[in-house]
């Protein structure tokens, strides 16, 4: 009986160790791509401010390609493959937008496709973080008191 209980406890301990390891690998992968996402936001913000034109579109294409290569070369757990695929697809449409910056017919198409894949990738990462056992505790205590 003691042998069975100790074996059961060992399995539970092993389960939680493996669970912690997998959560740590997911969180470290997300921390690695944070800089890439920030750079994408800067690029899209420049486009929204009309700072991208035919003259400097090659610079933005190079920046997007560097980010895309960074996403492809990032070591990641297999659970994040769908997120990375969606993110790379959104960057592909962003590159197409900058390549065809003067083509007014297809600009809305590229923008809509970029937004679609970007939103899909965001919902995917939110779903993954919600489905894991990662929980953030929050203590509802005021930081100051009014007198």
Tell me the per-residue pLDDT of 63-117, one tens digit each, with 9 for 90 and over: 999 999 988 888 888 888 899 999 999 999 999 999 988 888 888 899 999 999 9
Cα–Cα distance measured from residue 117 to residue 89, given in angstroms and rounded to the nearest whole number: 7
Specify the pTM: 0.75
Q: For residue 133, what pLDDT is reported?
A: 55
| End-to-end alpha carbon distance in the chain | 61
Tell me which of 134 and 65 has the higher pLDDT. Answer: 65
What would the mean pLDDT of 10-14 be, rounded to a whole number? 87
pLDDT above 70 covers what percent of the chain? 88
Give the mean pLDDT of the chain.
83
- DSSP codes, the chain: -HHHHHHHHHHHHHHHHHHHHHHHHHHHHHHHHHHHHHHHHHHHHHHHTT---TTTHHHHHHHHHHHHHHHHHS---GGGHHHHHHHHHHHHHHHHHHHTTT-HHHHHHHHHHHHHHHHHHHHHHHHHHHHSS---------SS---
What would the mean pLDDT of 44-55 be, rounded to a whole number? 87
Is the confidence at residue 138, as pLDDT, over 50? Answer: no
Cα–Cα distance measured from residue 85 to residue 91, given in angstroms and rounded to the nearest whole number: 10
Whether the CB-CB separation of 64 and 95 falls below 8 Å is answered with: yes
């Amino acid at each position: 009986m003691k042998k069975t209980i100790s074996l059961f406890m060992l399995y539970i301990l092993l389960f939680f160790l493996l669970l912690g390891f997998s959560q740590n690998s997911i969180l470290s992968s997300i921390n690695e791509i944070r800089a890439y996402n920030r750079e994408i936001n800067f690029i899209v913000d420049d486009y929204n401010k009309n700072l991208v034109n035919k003259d400097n579109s090659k610079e933005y294409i190079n920046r997007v390609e560097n980010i895309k290569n960074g996403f492809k070369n990032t070591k990641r757990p297999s659970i994040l493959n769908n997120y990375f695929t969606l993110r790379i697809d959104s960057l592909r449409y962003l590159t197409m937008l900058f390549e065809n910056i003067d083509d007014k017919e297809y600009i809305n198409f590229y923008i809509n496709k970029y937004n679609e894949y970007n939103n899909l990738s965001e919902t995917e990462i939110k779903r993954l973080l919600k489905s894991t056992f990662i929980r953030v505790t929050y203590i509802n205590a005021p930081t100051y008191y009014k007198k």
